[in-house]
Structure 1
Amino acid sequence: MFLRLLLCACLLLTSRAEVRADDGYRLWLKYDQLPEAGLRKAWQAHAKGILLPEPTTPTLQAAASELQLGLQGLLGRPVPKGAAPGGRGSIRLRVASAEAALGREGYRLTMTGGGLEITGATDAGVLYGCFALLRQVQTGQRPEALNLTSQPRIQHRLLNHWDNPNGTVERGYAGSSIWKWLELPERVDPRYQDYARANASVGINGVVLNNVNASARYLTPEYLRKVAAVANVLRPYGQRVYLSVLWAAPKVIGGLKTSDPLDPQVQAWWAARTNEIYQTIPDFGGFLVKANSEGEPGPQDYGRTHADGANMLARALGPHDGIVMWRAFVYQAGSGDRFKQAYEDFKPLDGQFAPKVLVQVKNGPIDFQAREPFHPLFGAMPRTPLVLEVQLTQEYLGFATHLVYLGPLIKECLEADTYAQGPGSTVAKVVDGTLEKHAISGIAGVANIGADRNWTGHPVGQANWYAFGRLAWDHTLDPADLAREWTRMTLTREPAAEAAITSVLNQSRSIYVRYTTPLGLHHIMGQTLHYGPEPWLASSARPDWTAVYYHKADAAGLGFDRTATGSDALALYAPEARARWADPATCPLDYLLWFHHVSWNQPLRTGRTLWQELTTRYYSGTDSVQWMQQQWARAAPAVDAETHADVTARLRVQQREAQWWRDACMLYFQQFARQPLPPGLPPPTRTLADIKEQVDIYQLR
């Protein structure tokens, strides 16, 4: 009897420990009971049941099931669902074609005399409205006088997965791919549904399943059946699947001798294969293409333009409801300033693309750096819809080791003024189509998702997935508000802890920039892994893969001259935008070395010389990681212990590596500046030779 009681006690303790533990799998969809009894009671009065319209659809069923799951968890009591008329306090899901003003995906949350209504012109709108209601409850809002209307500002809101058929993820730092291609289509991992729920909760409506450095295998009948199995899971949650395609597929798997887009046989092959795709996946979203970039094949191999290639695929889509997203990330070795090359390739093609083609442009002109000026193509192609591409996986921002919240980075680009049609011609207005009156629009985030239990490796990496989705839906939102939302839904609503965590999130990106690439330095990371500092890198397969190509450090100064006396990349921008950066005396310091080669002794408006300002920023950035640790420690009592310990350990690594960045860059640039550190800054304890040896080992060369 004693042993039986002991066993029961152990099982009870184990069960309670499992309930308390939070491994991050639920992301921000944590439907734990609200701690405030009064708030629970207020919502309970309005959540006595969920009423579905008839006839119902898989999307409405998914919406009602999510609402039921969330409310039962948050309110601590059952919330039945059905189609029968409900009493006062029920939540009614309503599809109303008369609500055309909401658009296909918009929703309305209203309190009526009979209860709460979630209305959409389509079932997709109702789905998004259900998630919006749950967000209201999770973040501690009260139900009284609830009246919320929202619709997306951008039509196509996509995650781009850089996942490969063998399960690896290019620039992925959260484990292997979540797509189990060897198991599909027979076994469909339940995780796919949780992934779809998370995407729907923030308004993502499309998923590119595979790497832009694409394998032709995805276009084979074998793999199309696998893709269809994933599409079947995502469809009820309002998401369509897309594929990155290998331009040379007609040769690789089609048996043709060419992939020339003007060849009739190539055109016929793509048209036939596209029809096969739609027979297998009727709501297939379309194609993403990386061509003639970094060794990938493309139409230029045959003397054709990017427009020739994109338009051929658009014709292959025929009557199908799909699009072509053609990436503008192109550059050739030895072709001058890499900053200019995408512009020079694509600007002349403006107006030559078919209606179903969107050109996908990275937020900046180089490659997802920690801070870049907006890409000069934004505002420069008024007759072509442009997709904004941002990177959520932290390829150049410390991988899954460093805590860097990217909401401010994305917002910084969206708010940048191109002046293409005068003041207020922001990148956001280019992307959403309102500036140039495009009927089609898109935004894409390179996913930071992997098979790690917590999805993103670093627990706080989830905030970047969340913020991207919310900004893709509504780019007017404030990243600070989104940081607060995510913290409340994912970690804690205890006021002091919430304040500490959100302050870390909101400042983390600027801190990272200060200890890695201050004042507009860029592309000085390790060559092979893109991790850690390597400002001395001077030899590579091509000049624009080195660090010295970008920072131009010499005895005279530091920085890349992109004015008329240098590469003249500034001339790519509208005069008003150019004016902000053209004069080194007035150029914002965050972009100074992007556009100017500045003397080490040049006084800056901070009252310090360039050398003094550079060193001060490196040191203050490193010191600020200690502040991040202190703030995170303050939140310990209110955050799950396992999650808190995980982030605490990563912050210790981040502190060590911030010092590594600081010492490596200071010692290297000091060789050219030939000046001591400003008073009060402790000198590095290692020599530059010691640090180079560490980097060489780390880069596995």
Structure 2
Amino acid sequence: MKLFKCLYTLAVALTVTCKKQYIDISPKPNKDLWLHGKVPLRGKPAYEYRILDHWDNLDDTVERGYAGNSIFGWTLEKVPKERIVKYARLNQKIGINGAVLNNVNANPDILTEKYLNRVKEIADIIRPYGMRTFLSVNFASPSALGELETADPLEPKVREWWNKKVDQIYELIPDFGGFLVKASSEGQPGPGDFGRSHAEGANMLAEALEPHDGIVMWRAFVYSATSPDRAMQAAEEFLPLEGQFKDNVVIQIKNGPIDFQPREPFSPLFGLLNKTSMAPELQVTQEYLGQSKNFVYLGPMWEEFFKSDTYRDGKGSTVADVTSSSKLSVVAGVANVGDSDFMCGSIAAQVNWYAYGRLAWDPTLSAEQIAKEWINLSFEKPRDMSKKQYEKNFVKPMLQMMLSSRETCVDFMMPLGLHHLFHADHHYGPDPSYETTPMSRPDWTAPYYHKADAYGVGFDRSSTGSNAVSQYNEPLRSLYDGEDCPEELILWFHHVAWDHKMKSGKTLWEELNNHYENGVKQSENYLKQWKKMKSYVDKERYNDIKKCMETQVHDAHWWKDTVLDYFQGFVNGTRTTSEVNTTTSN
């Protein structure tokens, strides 16, 4: 009996000790993501082309990248085959079948022999895994490379130049997919420089690619400094060109009318174009949602977007339906992939790559289903633990945190339809005043969007303001224009008094405070919950996700204090203007 008691005491002591340590789990899910798991791809994919857009530069830096340098190793002597194979295999598992290898702010040199030979090597590596290669091109390449004096798309010699260049590419890469083009936007050259339309520019490239089964993805991200409402410009420029684009051209449209904000209404273009193919563009890299340093799962945001009803063809015309049924069926996601240890900068960011692939295959999937899949693929139940215990103490709380994380991010950053309050240059952290960052254009400053004054806050896009609501089909037009505008978008569409009574009975100012406070509390709760889950996950993943959550707690306080202190000045009358210095910045 004494021996039994001694052994029992020892067993209890060991159990207690083990609970304080990390579980010893195979490291495969850390570095290999979902490579060794079973992804439930079923049925026919909704989109024919399911593409990752890499904003990778030829010096290996990545614009808006938070996961190290380019995985393609443009500056390396040899192409890093091993990591590109792994990348291609991961994409194949989730149904992604194409990659744009370089930045939309394209360096013309990508079309030189040196880099095309490099592109061929990469194409040869990813081809066995069902992936086609695409390139971003600079519209002014013929002149930028010094081979012609002009890039006017209606000039015969320019058209001939592109025809020869495309032929050269297909000699190297027979299954080359086509071009992605950012034109006449943010300083990038385009057909507008020559008095030509987007259709004339896109069609020139389309004609060169057509004999080879290549496509043109022409971005709708266009806006000028002189427009009174940037949110309206894409529709204003592309709707008049309806039906003028060739069949192998697709207009690539960001999910929202501004720029991948934590919450935007869907771009009105999705409900306006009918004869022109449309491709949704999502941003997997978290430019405005914590940059791989915060714990933010984007699945709920994308589910909200794909299921949004455009009413283009009556009730039920969801964004997913009107885009996947286009003649040219394309979906694009700006990649969050780099050469960092976990490929995405953090383990928590890996789920967004996975979620994009799953929704590109089937945009009717729920964020919850995708999150469950990712948890099962990425984490393993400790060997000595019951399934019931693991589900209760790890899977369920992990799922709850993931599904609420996007709304938490909105709450502590830009709730109730606020947008573009971030730091001007790197887009990390709050800067609602832009007092410390002079900019050359007012539409690159926060006050252009929040319009805060002594009366209230918000951009008036109602029928008595910029009338951006007119670009939406009924009943959305009336909904967004009226008193029943959804509160999560109220400051997107209306300039609202600080003392306006919200549905909760609180004033707008009180409601704003509550949202920011909730974002802070939720972020703190995530960290507390994760610490309780320490014994269910290995040390590497525990520390990585813990670091994200600790950073988020800091950032949530930073956002809350900065934004509310700034707006408080308008509420109490100590700040009277939101005008900023718009002198040219260095």
| Same fold, TM-score > 0.5, yes or no | yes
Cα deviation digits, residues 455-486 of structure 1 (max 9, x gap): 01121100000000000000111111100100
Distance, in Å, in 2 between the alignment partners of 1:349 and 1:187 is 42
- Aligned with residue 158 of structure 1, among 51, 62, 86: 51
- Aligned with residue 311 of structure 1, among 192, 203, 220: 203
Distance, in Å, in 1 between the alignment partners of 2:73 and 2:42 is 38
- Is the aligned partner of 1:591 residue 2:489? yes
SS in 1 for 2:270: coil
Q: Give the drift of 1:387.
A: 0.6
Q: Which runs of 5+ in 1 are unaligned?
A: 1-16, 32-133, 137-147, 677-687, 689-699
Q: For residue 9 of structure 1, what is the aligned residue in structure 2?
A: none
Q: For residue 457 of structure 2, what is the aligned residue in structure 1?
A: 558
- Aligned with residue 452 of structure 1, among 312, 332, 340: 340
Q: For residue 416 of structure 2, what is the aligned residue in structure 1?
A: 519
- Is the aligned partner of 1:135 residue 2:39? yes
What letter corresponds to residue 500 of structure 1 in structure 2?
P
Q: Which runs of structure 2 are paired with 1:293-308 in the superposition (5 Å)?
A: 293-308=185-200
Q: Is the CA contact (8 Å cut-off) linking 1:378 and 1:430 kept in structure 2?
A: yes
Following TM superposition, the consecutive aligned residue runs of length 4 or more in structure 1 with deviations greater than 3 angstroms are: 17-23
Q: Which runs of 5+ in 2 are unaligned?
A: 1-22, 382-389, 576-584
- CA-based RMSD of the aligned residues comes to 1.9
Distance, in Å, in 2 between the alignment partners of 1:200 and 1:173 is 23
Q: Is the CA contact (8 Å cut-off) linking 2:29 and 2:377 kept in structure 1?
A: no
Q: For residue 25 of structure 1, what is the aligned residue in structure 2?
A: 31
Distance, in Å, in 2 between the alignment partners of 1:421 and 1:618 is 38
- Is the aligned partner of 1:227 residue 2:125? no
**Segment of structure 1 superposing worse, 315-324 or 240-249:** 315-324
Cα deviation digits, residues 550-579 of structure 1 (max 9, x gap): 001001001000011111111111121212
Q: For residue 489 of structure 1, what is the aligned residue in structure 2?
A: 377
- Aligned with residue 441 of structure 2, among 531, 537, 542: 542
- Aligned with residue 128 of structure 2, among 222, 236, 240: 236
SS in 2 for 1:241: strand
SS in 2 for 1:336: coil
What letter corresponds to residue 521 of structure 1 in structure 2?
L
Q: Give the drift of 1:30.
A: 4.0
Cα deviation digits, residues 11-32 of structure 1 (max 9, x gap): xxxxxx997446832012245x
- Is the aligned partner of 1:412 residue 2:304? yes
- Is the aligned partner of 1:168 residue 2:61? yes
SS in 2 for 1:520: coil
Q: Give the drift of 1:625.
A: 0.3
Q: Which runs of structure 2 are paired with 1:1-16 in the superposition (5 Å)?
A: none
Q: Give the drift of 1:500.
A: 1.3
SS in 2 for 1:592: helix
Distance, in Å, in 1 between the alignment partners of 2:572 and 2:443 is 26
Cα deviation digits, residues 196-217 of structure 1 (max 9, x gap): 0100111000000000000111
Q: Give the drift of 1:183.
A: 3.3
What letter corresponds to residue 95 of structure 2 in structure 1?
G
1:427 and 1:393, CA in 2 relative to 1: closer, same or farther beyond 3 A? same
Q: Give the drift of 1:254.
A: 5.1
Q: For residue 276 of structure 1, what is the aligned residue in structure 2?
A: 168
Q: % of aligned pairs identical?
A: 48
Distance, in Å, in 2 between the alignment partners of 1:377 and 1:304 is 21
Distance, in Å, in 2 between the alignment partners of 1:490 and 1:201 is 14
- Aligned with residue 222 of structure 2, among 330, 348, 358: 330
Distance, in Å, in 2 between the alignment partners of 1:202 and 1:478 is 15
What letter corresponds to residue 532 of structure 1 in structure 2?
G
- Is the aligned partner of 1:659 residue 2:557? yes
1:26 and 1:662, CA in 2 relative to 1: closer, same or farther beyond 3 A? same
Matched positions, count: 545
Cα deviation digits, residues 477-523 of structure 1 (max 9, x gap): 11111001001101235312111111111110000000010100000
**Segment of structure 1 superposing worse, 533-542 or 551-560:** 533-542
Q: Which runs of structure 2 are paired with 1:405-444 in the superposition (5 Å)?
A: 405-433=297-325, 438-444=326-332
SS in 1 for 2:439: coil
- Aligned with residue 430 of structure 2, among 510, 533, 538: 533
Q: For residue 18 of structure 2, what is the aligned residue in structure 1?
A: none
Distance, in Å, in 2 between the alignment partners of 1:260 and 1:149 is 46
Q: For residue 247 of structure 2, what is the aligned residue in structure 1?
A: 355
Whose RCO is larger (CA < 8 A, sep 6+)?
2
Q: Is the CA contact (8 Å cut-off) linking 1:324 and 1:358 kept in structure 2?
A: yes
SS in 1 for 2:192: helix
Distance, in Å, in 1 between the alignment partners of 2:489 and 2:151 is 42
What letter corresponds to residue 417 of structure 2 in structure 1?
G
SS in 2 for 1:232: helix
Distance, in Å, in 2 between the alignment partners of 1:628 and 1:355 is 48
Structure 1 length-normalised TM: 0.76
Q: Give the drift of 1:597.
A: 0.4
SS in 2 for 1:158: strand
Q: For residue 474 of structure 2, what is the aligned residue in structure 1?
A: 575
Q: For residue 8 of structure 2, what is the aligned residue in structure 1?
A: none
Structure 2 length-normalised TM: 0.90
- Aligned with residue 289 of structure 2, among 397, 400, 406: 397
Cα deviation digits, residues 389-446 of structure 1 (max 9, x gap): 010111111112111100111111111111111110111111101xxxx332111000
Q: Give the drift of 1:335.
A: 1.7
What letter corresponds to residue 48 of structure 2 in structure 1?
Q
Q: Which runs of structure 2 are paired with 1:114-129 in the superposition (5 Å)?
A: none
What letter corresponds to residue 260 of structure 1 in structure 2?
D
Q: For residue 15 of structure 2, what is the aligned residue in structure 1?
A: none
Distance, in Å, in 1 between the alignment partners of 2:158 and 2:198 is 16
- Aligned with residue 520 of structure 2, among 606, 622, 630: 622
Distance, in Å, in 1 between the alignment partners of 2:117 and 2:68 is 25
Q: Give the drift of 1:643.
A: 0.9
Q: Give the drift of 1:149.
A: 4.7
Q: Which runs of structure 2 are paired with 1:456-471 in the superposition (5 Å)?
A: 456-471=344-359
Cα deviation digits, residues 134-158 of structure 1 (max 9, x gap): 336xxxxxxxxxxx95110111100
- Is the aligned partner of 1:341 residue 2:238? no
Q: Is the CA contact (8 Å cut-off) linking 1:208 and 1:288 kept in structure 2?
A: yes
SS in 2 for 1:659: helix
**For the pair shown, which has the larger CA radius of gyration, 1 or 2?**
1
Q: Which runs of structure 2 are paired with 1:652-691 in the superposition (5 Å)?
A: 652-674=550-572
